[in-house]
């Protein structure tokens, strides 16, 4: 009796090995080819992210993975990507430590580019609402409290923005010594403090008020005026200058 030869069993693994690659996407849908044909501006947010991710996992291509990450981000979409932490990114199947760090760096780079462009076009920071508008989108979604120091020249244009600290809720360890070391280093004519309240309520705490008074008094001794202290909340802000708390 003639022995039957076994038919080869097709592998269920994707062509690109253990992960789906861009080659596993139909050519007309590949982001690289679309970019060459139509230009980078034609790419969707998911396609741009897919190019950065490069490979997917066993079940998903990079494009499918990118689409899912953007859908699950809070808020959904490209803005939500900026608020994802490294552990949150690494929870996504197909995103390891290196890819996660790369995505964090892309987010930070985009924010720095935006800030640089905004600064080049920014008017003098003479009004509290202009200061609040400059920081609102960057700071209102932060889950930790941050304090920024604005170094201004004689025309109240921003020389430098310095992150003084990033800390826990309801804690503002702003040292007048640290603040004025930076102010003197960059030859500040005046300064503004800006920090966020992760709760979304910009109402100053008792510690916020005490800190502001100490810094104003220290600045008066050095000839560097504290023009304002602006607290960023959820689509709202509190200005010490606007409320008449600072004695300018």
Indicate which CATH number applies to the domain containing 206: 3.40.140.10
Residue 169's pLDDT band (boundaries 50, 70, 90)?
Answer: very low
Number of domains in the chain: 2
Rounded average pLDDT over 189-216: 93
At 146, phi and psi to the nearest 5? -130, 145
- Residue 34 near residue 42 (C-beta atoms within 8 A): yes
Alpha-carbon distance of 201 to 131, in angstroms, equals: 17
* Domain finish residue from 79, 94, 115: 115
Q: Which two tokens stand for residue 153?
A: 């020249």
Give the three-state DSSP class for 166. strand
For the beta carbon of residue 171, count every other beta carbon within 10 angstroms. Answer: 11
What is the DSSP pairing of strand 225-232 with strand 237-239? antiparallel
Alpha-carbon distance of 82 to 115, in angstroms, equals: 14
pLDDT for the residue numbered 2: 47
pLDDT for the residue numbered 54: 85
Residue 247 lies in a domain: no
Residue with tokens 């170094």: 151
Mark whether 87 and 128 lie in a shared domain: no
* Domain finish residue from 59, 92, 115: 115
pLDDT, tens only, 87-113: 999 998 889 999 999 988 888 888 777
Mark whether 146 and 175 lie in a shared domain: yes
Mark whether 105 and 129 lie in a shared domain: no
Residue 152 lies in a domain: yes
Residue 217 lies in a domain: yes
Alpha-carbon distance of 226 to 246, in angstroms, equals: 8
Mark whether 110 and 204 lie in a shared domain: no
Q: Give this prediction's pTM.
A: 0.58
Residue 176 lies in a domain: yes
* Domain finish residue from 115, 149, 181: 115
Q: Which residues contact 203 (CB under 8 A, 6 or more apart)?
A: 197, 231, 238
Residue 215 lies in a domain: yes
pLDDT for the residue numbered 173: 60
Mark whether 133 and 216 lie in a shared domain: yes
Mark whether 181 and 108 lie in a shared domain: no
Mark whether 128 and 105 lie in a shared domain: no
Residue 2 lies in a domain: no
Alpha-carbon distance of 38 to 23, in angstroms, equals: 19
CA distances from 119 to 102, 122, 130, 193 (A): 26, 5, 12, 17
Q: Residue 17 pLDDT > 50, yes or no?
A: no
What is the domain extent for residue 202?
124-239
At 84, phi and psi to the nearest 5? -80, 140
pLDDT for the residue numbered 8: 42
**At what angle are helices 62-72 and 45-53 packed, to 10 degrees?**
120
Most trustworthy range by pLDDT among 30-39, 65-74, 97-106, 215-224: 215-224
Q: Which residues contact 115 (CB under 8 A, 6 or more apart)?
A: 138, 161
Mark whether 42 and 134 lie in a shared domain: no
The radius of gyration of the chain from alpha carbons, rounded to an integer in Å, stands at 25
Mark whether 90 and 162 lie in a shared domain: no
Mark whether 110 and 196 lie in a shared domain: no
Mark whether 192 and 86 lie in a shared domain: no
């Amino acid at each position: 009796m003639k022995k039957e030869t076994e038919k080869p069993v097709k592998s269920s693994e994707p062509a690109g090995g253990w992960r789906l690659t861009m080659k596993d996407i139909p050519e007309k849908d590949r982001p690289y080819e679309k970019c060459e044909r139509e230009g980078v501006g034609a790419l969707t947010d998911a396609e741009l992210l897919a190019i950065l991710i490069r490979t997917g996992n066993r079940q998903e291509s990079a494009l499918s993975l990118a689409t899912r990450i953007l859908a699950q981000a809070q808020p959904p979409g490209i803005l939500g990507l900026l608020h994802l932490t490294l552990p949150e990114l690494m929870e996504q199947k197909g995103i390891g430590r290196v890819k996660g760090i790369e995505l964090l760096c892309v987010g930070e780079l985009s924010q720095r580019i935006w800030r640089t462009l905004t600064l080049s076009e920014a008017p003098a920071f003479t009004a509290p609402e202009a200061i609040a508008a400059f920081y609102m989108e960057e700071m209102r979604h932060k889950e930790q409290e941050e304090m920024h120091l604005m170094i201004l020249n004689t025309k109240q244009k921003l020389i430098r923005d310095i992150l003084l600290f990033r800390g826990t809720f309801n804690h503002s360890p702003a040292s007048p010594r640290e603040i004025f070391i930076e102010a003197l280093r960059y030859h500040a004519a005046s300064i503004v403090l800006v920090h966020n309240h992760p709760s979304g309520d910009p109402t100053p705490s008792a510690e916020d008020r005490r800190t502001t008074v100490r810094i104003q008094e220290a600045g008066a001794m050095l000839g560097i005026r504290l023009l304002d202290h602006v607290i960023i909340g959820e689509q709202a802000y509190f200005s010490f200058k606007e409320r008449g708390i600072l004695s300018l």
